């Protein structure tokens, strides 16, 4: 198994932990205002804890795991996608800076921070695609699942070699 993890921002992890701690303190009654009732403390604490969970969930923006015969695409707050060898119709190496038809232009359900894009996006060519992308070099994978996949990492050569060795086993 080979894994490529997209970096998160430490700020989200720190904010998540802070929100969790504040939520617990508020529910426990250690932090209370002059006129705060029990119900207000519980509601406020639950909201803070929920925000903490969301922030901690954002600590990783995506992960690509390559096993024998399949590739797992993990994206926060989305269902993980598994692309099996038999579901791949074609694979093409693209550079979204040059190949404009593969450029993500509209976020449908996902996240984008800098060069990291994960989730569902509409591409310039009009297709709805699932992205797990960090950088400009990627593999554009047509699948029999009804949607294409755009996958790339900063260590693109290493990723492409692992994809060919374990999943696609053909020259791209």
Report yes or no on 2 lying in a domain. Answer: no
Residue with tokens 């939520």: 23
Instruction: Provide, rounded to the nearest whole percent, the portion of the chain with pLDDT above 70.
Output: 90
Residues 45 and 90 in one domain: no
Residues 133 and 88 in one domain: yes
Residues 17 and 70 in one domain: no
SS3 76: coil
What strands lie across the sheet with 104-113, from one edge to the other?
A: 88-95, 137-143, 149-152, 128-134, 116-123, 104-113
- Report pLDDT for 56: 74
Residues 105 and 48 in one domain: no
Residues 95 and 131 in one domain: yes
Q: Say whether pLDDT at 147 is over 70.
A: yes
Per residue in 10-30, pLDDT tens? 667 778 888 889 888 888 877
Residues 43 and 15 in one domain: yes
Q: Say whether pLDDT at 9 is over 90.
A: no
Residues 90 and 103 in one domain: yes
Report yes or no on 38 lying in a domain. Answer: yes
Q: Say whether pLDDT at 3 is over 90.
A: no
Find the mean pLDDT for residues 78-94: 91
Residues 140 and 125 in one domain: yes
Q: Say whether pLDDT at 171 is over 80.
A: no
Report yes or no on 1 lying in a domain. Answer: no
Find the mean pLDDT for residues 148-155: 93
Residues 98 and 49 in one domain: no
Instruction: Provide, rounded to the nearest whole percent, the portion of the chain with pLDDT above 90.
Output: 44
- Report pLDDT for 32: 61
Question: By residue range, what is the domain housing residue 103?
Answer: 62-168
Report yes or no on 126 lying in a domain. Answer: yes
Residue 38 vs residue 158, higher pLDDT: 158
pTM: 0.72
Residues 154 and 78 in one domain: yes
The pLDDT-based confidence of 33 (bands split at 50, 70, 90) is: low
Q: What is the mean pLDDT of the chain?
A: 86
What does the alpha-carbon distance between residue 114 and residue 73 come to, in Å, rounded to a whole number?
Answer: 19
Total domains in the chain come to 2
122 within 8 A of 105, measured Cβ to Cβ = yes
Per residue in 103-145, pLDDT tens? 999 989 877 777 888 889 999 999 999 999 988 999 999 999 9
Residues 48 and 113 in one domain: no
Residues 50 and 128 in one domain: no
């Amino acid at each position: 198994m080979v894994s490529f993890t997209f970096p998160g921002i430490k700020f989200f992890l720190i904010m998540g932990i802070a929100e969790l701690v504040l939520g617990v303190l508020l529910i426990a009654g250690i932090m209370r205002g002059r006129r705060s009732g029990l119900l207000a403390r519980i509601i406020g604490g639950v909201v803070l804890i929920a925000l903490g969970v969301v922030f901690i969930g954002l600590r990783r923006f995506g992960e690509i795991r390559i096993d024998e015969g399949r590739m797992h695409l993990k994206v926060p707050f989305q269902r993980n996608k598994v692309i099996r060898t038999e579901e791949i119709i074609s694979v093409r190496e693209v550079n979204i800076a040059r190949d404009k038809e593969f450029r993500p232009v509209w976020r449908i359900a996902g996240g984008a921070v800098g060069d990291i894009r994960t989730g569902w996006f509409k591409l310039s060519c009009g297709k709805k695609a699932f992205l797990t992308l960090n950088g400009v070099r990627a593999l554009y994978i047509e699948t029999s699942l009804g949607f294409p996949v755009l996958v790339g990492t900063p260590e693109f050569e290493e990723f492409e070699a692992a994809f060919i060795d374990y999943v696609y086993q053909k020259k791209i």
